[in-house]
């Protein structure tokens, strides 16, 4: 039986939150032992919003060091920088030709982002999901491990794969999103109706993977809860529900186990423990990161070898696509 193929990526657009970690990277680690995995640092996606060039370079290497520190293993997975494999852009163009403007304008993330910056809307922000579809389809991907907010984009990739296959004959595998229940949508600690995001103006809303222990303790302590005073999982206690999800992912306890453990105890005790399980998991990652980030030669070796492996596979699909649409072989 052939091994399933996994593809996913994170944008190097600043520091990562535990939302990115829980929704994506943490799940990637488990998958590398079972499947053929491709994990990309999607710098082409990052320029859909303005970036300072030197920061983008730094953030790209930082993210690579974080991938490795979290446990991605270049011996098991292909780890690469998106802009190093031009096939992503070449396939994007072909997929643009079968993408409908109507469908792209209905993408939730585009609608949200375009409302925020109506004046200087760039075209890349609009076609961003097509680039993401190209990322996924180039590798004949079966599974795409992401957080809930990317589900609609993976569905677009499915649509485009099917549309292309119908029009030009079977070419792409139709991928599926892989979204874990507890970590699908980690919410802001300051507003549990909003997704935790590094672009939040309020720094207390998110915890960064590289936050030090005291910062983590302080942010969790300040997390918005309610006046019920019971650690119970329901739709009325959104702040507590979010903290329970976080605790569950980091401790491995089920929601039921957490409810039992904190039965009769107040939010103070619970919050202290939430902070400690986060610190316990992040501390070794931070130590590893600090080691790796100074080892530029090693990072370069990892992304160079990754590029070679990714490009080989991507070009196989791209050649097929170019032939099917009627381009003469180069
Ligand atoms: P990005 O960089 O915004 O986020 C990276 C991953 O983190 C997940 N995530 C969350 N999960 C749970 N709770 C949260 N609060 C939270 N915030 C972020 C995201 O769902 C994502 O999985 N377009 C993508 C990157 C991308 C990609 C791809 C992903 C480009 N090409 C191909 C998969 C396959 C993005 O901007 O993710």
Ligand 1 contact, 20 CB (< 6 A): yes
Res 112: pLDDT: 86
Count Cα atoms within 13 angstroms, Cβ side, for 288: 17
Determine the distance separating the centroid of ligand 1 and the alpha carbon of 25, expressed in angstroms.
9
Question: 49 to each of 44, 52, 96, 280, how far by Cα in Å?
Answer: 10, 10, 20, 34
To the query of whether residue 113 is one of the catalytic residues in this protein, the response is yes
Q: Could you say which of 198, 221, 309, 316 is catalytic?
A: 198
Determine the distance separating the centroid of ligand 1 and the alpha carbon of 24, expressed in angstroms.
7
State the average pLDDT for the chain: 96
Ligand 1 contact, 8 CB (< 6 A): yes
The predicted model gives 226-255 an average pLDDT of 95
Confidence of residue 1 (pLDDT cuts 50, 70, 90): low
Res 181: pLDDT: 85
To the query of whether residue 76 is one of the catalytic residues in this protein, the response is no
Ligand 1 contact, 146 CB (< 6 A): yes
To the query of whether residue 324 is one of the catalytic residues in this protein, the response is no
Ligand 1 contact, 135 CB (< 6 A): yes
* Alpha carbon distance 105, 111 (integer Å): 7
Determine the distance separating the centroid of ligand 1 and the alpha carbon of 323, expressed in angstroms.
32
Asked if 96 and 123 count as a contact pair (C-beta separation under 8 A), the reply is: no
Res 14: pLDDT: 83
Q: Domains, the chain, ranges and CATH?
A: 5-183+296-325 (3.40.50.620), 203-290 (1.10.240.10)
Do strands 36-41 and 176-178 pair parallel, antiparallel, or not at all (unpaired)?
Answer: unpaired
Substitution candidate for ligand 1 out of 59, 132, 146, 193 with most atoms within 8 A of CB: 146
Confidence of residue 293 (pLDDT cuts 50, 70, 90): very high
Q: Whose CA is nearest to atom 14 of ligand 1?
A: 19
| CA angle (200 as vertex; 28, 108 as ends), nearest 5 | 70
Q: Whose CA is nearest to atom 1 of ligand 1?
A: 10
How does DSSP assign 174-206, residue by residue? --EEE--TTTS-PBPSS-TTSB--TT-S-GGG-
- For the stretch 7-38, pLDDT in tens is 999 999 888 999 999 999 999 999 999 999 99
Over 105-142, what HEC string results? Answer: HCCHHHHHHHHHCCCCCCHHHHHHHHHHHHHHHHCCCC
- The answer, yes or no, to whether residue 118 has pLDDT greater than 80, is no
- For the stretch 160-190, pLDDT in tens is 999 999 999 999 999 999 999 878 999 999 9
- The answer, yes or no, to whether residue 81 has pLDDT greater than 90, is yes
Ligand 1 contact, 24 CB (< 6 A): yes
Ligand 1 contact, 48 CB (< 6 A): no
């Amino acid at each position: 039986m052939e091994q399933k193929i996994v593809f996913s990526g994170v944008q190097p657009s600043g520091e990562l939150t535990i939302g990115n970690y829980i929704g994506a990277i943490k799940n990637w680690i488990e998958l590398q032992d079972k499947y053929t995995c491709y994990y990309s640092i999607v710098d082409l996606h990052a320029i859909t919003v303005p970036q300072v060039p030197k920061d983008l370079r730094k953030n790209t290497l930082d993210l690579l060091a974080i991938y490795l520190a979290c446990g991605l293993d270049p011996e098991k997975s292909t780890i690469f920088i998106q802009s190093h494999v031009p096939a992503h852009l070449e396939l994007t163009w072909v997929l643009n030709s079968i993408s409908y403007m109507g469908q792209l304008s209905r993408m939730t993330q585009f609608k949200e982002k375009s409302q925020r910056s109506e004046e200087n809307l760039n075209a890349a922000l609009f076609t961003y999901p097509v680039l993401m579809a190209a990322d996924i389809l180039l590798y004949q991907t079966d599974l795409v491990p992401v957080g809930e907010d990317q589900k609609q984009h993976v569905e677009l990739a499915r649509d485009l794969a099917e549309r292309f296959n119908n029009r030009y004959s079977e070419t792409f595998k139709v991928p599926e999103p892989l979204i874990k229940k507890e970590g699908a949508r980690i919410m802001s600690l300051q507003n549990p109706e909003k997704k935790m995001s590094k672009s939040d103006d309020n720094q207390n809303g998110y915890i960064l993977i590289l936050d030090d222990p005291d910062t983590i303790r302080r942010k969790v302590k300040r997390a918005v809860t309610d006046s019920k005073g019971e650690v119970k999982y329901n739709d009325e206690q959104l702040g507590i529900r979010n903290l329970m999800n976080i605790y569950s992912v980091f401790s491995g306890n089920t929601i039921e186990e957490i409810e039992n453990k904190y039965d009769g105890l107040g939010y103070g005790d619970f919050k202290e423990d939430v902070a400690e399980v986060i610190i316990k998991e992040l501390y070794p990652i931070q130590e590893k990161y600090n080691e790796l980030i100074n080892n530029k030669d090693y990072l370069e070796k990892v992304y160079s070898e990754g590029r070679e492996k990714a490009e080989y596979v991507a070009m196989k699909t791209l050649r097929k696509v170019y032939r099917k649409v009627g381009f003469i072989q180069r």
